[in-house]
Amino acid sequence: MNPAVTAAEHHPLDLRLAQRMRGQQRLRGIFNGLPSPAIVEMCAYAGFDLLIIDNEHGSADLLMTEHQLRAARASGIPALVRCLEHDIPRVLDMGASGLQIPMVASAEHARDLVQRVRYPQPGGGGGRRGSAFSTRAAGYGAFGGSEHTRLSNEAIVLVAMVESPQAIEQAGAIAAVDGIDAVFVGPNDLAHAMGHENRYGDAPVQAAIERALRAVSAQGTCAGALALTPEEEVRYAAWGGRYFATVTTSLITRAFQQAARQGRAELSY
C-alpha cells in the first residue's frame, strides 16, 4: 500500500473546496442546521457541491459538528461550517474545510478573520491561529507539522457574509481582502436591517443584493447568495453570483407539506 495515496484519501481536510471556490464553475450548496450525520450523507448523495453546517442557527453542539464533518468526509461532500467567531479555533481543529462567518461588516473585520484562520509563518506573516497537531484536522498527529500548516493556510476556505446595508456598501472591499474566498449575501438579515422584515424579494432589498454581487464579482471573488428557487438562482447568476445555497429544513418541510396535502386529497374521494 502506498502511504502517500492512503494519506491523500484519508486526510481529514477535504482540499477540493478551495479549488472550487477559486474556480469559475457555479456551485450549489445547502445549509443544514439539523444535528444529523444522516442528513449530511443525504445531501452528499443527492449531489450538492458543498454543505454548510449551520452552527449559527442550528442546534448541533461541537461533538455533533465533528460527527457531521466525519459524515461529510466519508460521503464525499466538502463541508463549510457557519459558526460564530468564538468557535473558530475549535471548528478549524475539528477539520472543517472552511468557515462561513456571519455579519462581516468591513474589510478590516475581514482581515482580522483571515488572521484568525491562518497559522503564523516562519519569518513573519501568515496569521495568529493557535497550533495543535493532536486534533482531527491534523489526523491526531498523523498529518501534523509544517505540511499541515501549509495545507491549512492554502486550502481552508473563508466565506464572509454581508447582511446589513453598511456591509453591502463594503462588499467589494471585503472581497478584495487577501484570504477571503467568497462573499455571501444573507438576504433575510439584510431585509430586516433595511426595514423590510423578512421580505427580501422587495425591490430595495433586491437592488442591494445586486450591488453586492456585482461588486464582489468585479473583484474576481466568488459571489454567493441564498437561492431557494431556480428563478432566484438565475437572477443572481446574471448579477455575478456563482455560489448558491438552499436549506435542508425548507426542502424537507415543503416535501412533507406536499405529502400531507396529497394524503388529504386522496381521503376526500
Instruction: Output the pLDDT for position 267.
Output: 64
- The CA-based dihedral angle spanning residues 8, 14, 18, 19, taken in that order and rounded to the nearest 10 degrees: 50
Whole-number Cα distances in Å, 169 to 2, 209, 211, 245: 51, 10, 8, 22
Name the amino acid, one letter, at 170.
Q
- In this prediction, residues 102-125 reach a mean pLDDT of 94
Tens-place pLDDT, residues 68-104: 999 999 999 999 999 999 999 999 999 999 999 999 9
Instruction: Output the pLDDT for position 7.
Output: 58
Quick one: which of 97, 129, 125 has its CA closest to 113?
129
Question: Is 109 an active-site residue?
Answer: no
CATH of the domain at 261: 3.20.20.60
Is this model's pTM higher than 0.75 or not? yes
Tens-place pLDDT, residues 221-237: 999 999 999 999 999 99
Q: Cα separation of 114 and 154, whole Å?
A: 12
Residue with cell 465533528: 66
Q: Do 170 and 162 touch, CB atoms closer than 8 A? A: yes
Residue with cell 464579482: 217
> Residue 222: helix, strand or coil by DSSP?
strand
Q: Cα separation of 32 and 83, whole Å?
A: 12
Query: Residue 124 — pLDDT band, cuts 50, 70, 90?
Result: confident
- End-to-end Cα separation, the chain, in angstroms: 64
Note down the domain range covering 185: 3-267
Instruction: Output the pLDDT for position 268.
Output: 61
Tally of CB atoms within 10 A around 259? 10
Cell, residue 122: 516562519
**Domains of the chain: total:** 1
Q: Which of 10, 11, 57, 196 is catalytic?
A: 57
Quick one: which of 32, 79, 36 has its CA closest to 55?
32
Query: Residue 5 — pLDDT band, cuts 50, 70, 90?
Result: very low
Evaluated on CA atoms 200, 166, 189, 27, the torsion sign reads: positive
